[in-house]
Amino acid sequence: MQYNNNYHNGSDVMKHLLEPKRPYQEVGVSLRQMIANQQYRIGDRLPPERELADLLGVSRTVVREALIMLELENLIEVRKGSGVYIINLPHLSSSSCSVNAAGPFELLQARQLLESNIAEFAAMQVTPNDIANMRRALKRESEDLAAGEDESGDREFHLAIAEATHNSMLVELLKQSWAWRENNPMWLKLHSRITDKDYRKEWLHDHQIIFAAMIKKDPAAAKQAMWQHLENVKLRLLELSDIDDPYFDGYLFNSYPFEIAKKRN
């Protein structure tokens, strides 16, 4: 039996398995290596995100996710209004982040693709009972917002839209995407930096636009409204969690807006 020369020993196999699979992980490995090589020492402040992005040739979103990864590994500390500081030296052989752990903005991008199409299909299938469920979810979301409670109404609204497709597989996909978000350490770390909760008012307004499209049974408008809603979520979270520049314009992912109406013309 012949073996591929690329896997002639155990260390090569392990190296292959541990290779990062996502851009933020590659950037995280590069930053970890820079710290290990003593380009930065304990107590040093890392350059601003914009400089790191230029240095490494990536977007600031990727740098943001890489910094969250290193923060979870207890290598850096984010000090709001001050910057990012080295607090420990890395062990290059280990990482507390799974190679399959999606970054928070990657999760949002996946939701954007999934849920915009779910909304389009739901608008074709929606029944009066589905509309009542969505209205109930919006009412709960509004009450939760007024009472300063959790975001369960938000989840309930998105779930009501998935259920309006009357397709159990789409409902399960929606539930799974939310479970990934709720159990993702990088998502939780990102949200731990956000103290301003006014963004929830904006998202409620987005939901009302989506709901209006559902009432009209307008698939194109529903798809566009859901896409724009999750685009707004991405940009707002990026802005609210920004360490270096509160006026950053929110560039991420080369995420181009899409407008179904224009495609039809």
Residue 251, in any domain of the structure: no
CATH of the domain at 138: 1.20.120.530
How far apart are the C-alpha atoms of 170 and 65, rounded to whole Å?
28
Q: Write out the residue range of the structural domain in which residue 51 sits.
A: 5-86
Q: Residue 45 contacts by C-beta under 8 Å, 6 or more apart in sequence?
A: 82, 83, 84, 85
pLDDT in the model for residue 194: 65
Residue range 203-229: average pLDDT? 97
Is pLDDT at 213 greater than 80 in this prediction?
yes
Q: Are residues 119 and 238 in the same domain?
A: yes
Q: Are residues 183 and 67 in the same domain?
A: no
Residue 26, in any domain of the structure: yes
Residue 96, in any domain of the structure: no
Question: With pLDDT > 70 as the criterion, what percentage of the chain qualifies?
Answer: 72
Q: Are residues 205 and 260 in the same domain?
A: yes
Residue 93, in any domain of the structure: no
pLDDT in the model for residue 102: 67
Residue 170, in any domain of the structure: yes
Tens of pLDDT along 59-107?
Answer: 888 888 888 888 888 888 888 778 888 988 776 444 444 444 667 778 8
Is pLDDT at 204 greater than 90 in this prediction?
yes
Q: Are residues 109 and 182 in the same domain?
A: yes
Residue 125, in any domain of the structure: yes
95, 112, 119, 132: which is closest to 217 by C-alpha? 119
Residue 97, in any domain of the structure: no
Q: Are residues 137 and 70 in the same domain?
A: no
Is pLDDT at 114 greater than 80 in this prediction?
yes
Question: Is-contact 125 160, C-beta < 8 A?
Answer: no
pLDDT in the model for residue 132: 97
Residue range 240-263: average pLDDT? 45
Q: Which residue has the higher pLDDT, 46 or 246?
A: 46
pLDDT in the model for residue 225: 98
CATH of the domain at 36: 1.10.10.10
Residue range 207-215: average pLDDT? 98
Q: Are residues 48 and 142 in the same domain?
A: no
Bridge partners for 45 per DSSP: 85
Residue 42, in any domain of the structure: yes
pLDDT in the model for residue 261: 40
Q: DSSP character for 58?
A: S
Q: Are residues 108 and 143 in the same domain?
A: yes
Residue 250 banded pLDDT, cuts 50, 70, 90: very low
- Please give the tally of structural domains in the chain: 2
Q: Where are the alpha helices (DSSP H) in the chain?
A: 10-18, 23-36, 49-56, 60-72, 104-125, 128-147, 152-163, 168-182, 185-192, 199-215, 219-240, 260-264
Q: Are residues 142 and 82 in the same domain?
A: no
Tens of pLDDT along 6-52?
Answer: 444 444 433 444 454 678 888 888 888 888 777 778 888 898 888 89
